Amino acid sequence: MMIPACRVADLPRGEAFRIEFDPPVAVFHTEDGEFYAIDDTCTHQDASLSDGWLEGCEVECPLHASKFDVRTGSVDAPPARLPVRTHQVLLEDGMIYVKLSDAPPNLPPSCVAARLGAVPVAGGAA
């Protein structure tokens, strides 16, 4: 599925744009002028990666400082252990489009529980 994100002119270098989708997607414009898209939810805990800090091709989660490579989705720093899903970015007529991956997302346990309608129990025990 292809979804429009925003105009290229509206996303400065070093910034991110959040697409409200299920799950949300973050589009990053690196200082080198490249565009990348990943799931916007940290795989450790429900935090928006588009609110994090982009340095080079790594985004740091604003909650617990896990770092993800926006090119590959790989996680480079704990506490997150699972990568984020990546998506293809296409530029056409001054617009940024994201082609969503068919792979399942790596959502944190709190998001999975919310999707299933379950209430997480303190300590992780049910």
Count other C-beta atoms under 10 Å from residue 85's C-beta.
21
Query: What is the pLDDT, as a whole number, of residue 77?
Result: 83
Report the C-alpha gap between 125 and 102 in whole angstroms.
32
Residue 25 lies in a domain: yes
Model confidence at 117, pLDDT cuts 50, 70, 90, reads: low
Residue 125 lies in a domain: no
What's the rounded mean pLDDT across residues 106-112? 80
Q: What is the CATH number of the domain that holds 35?
A: 2.102.10.10
- Percent of the chain scoring above 90 in pLDDT: 78
Query: What is the pLDDT, as a whole number, of residue 115?
Result: 59
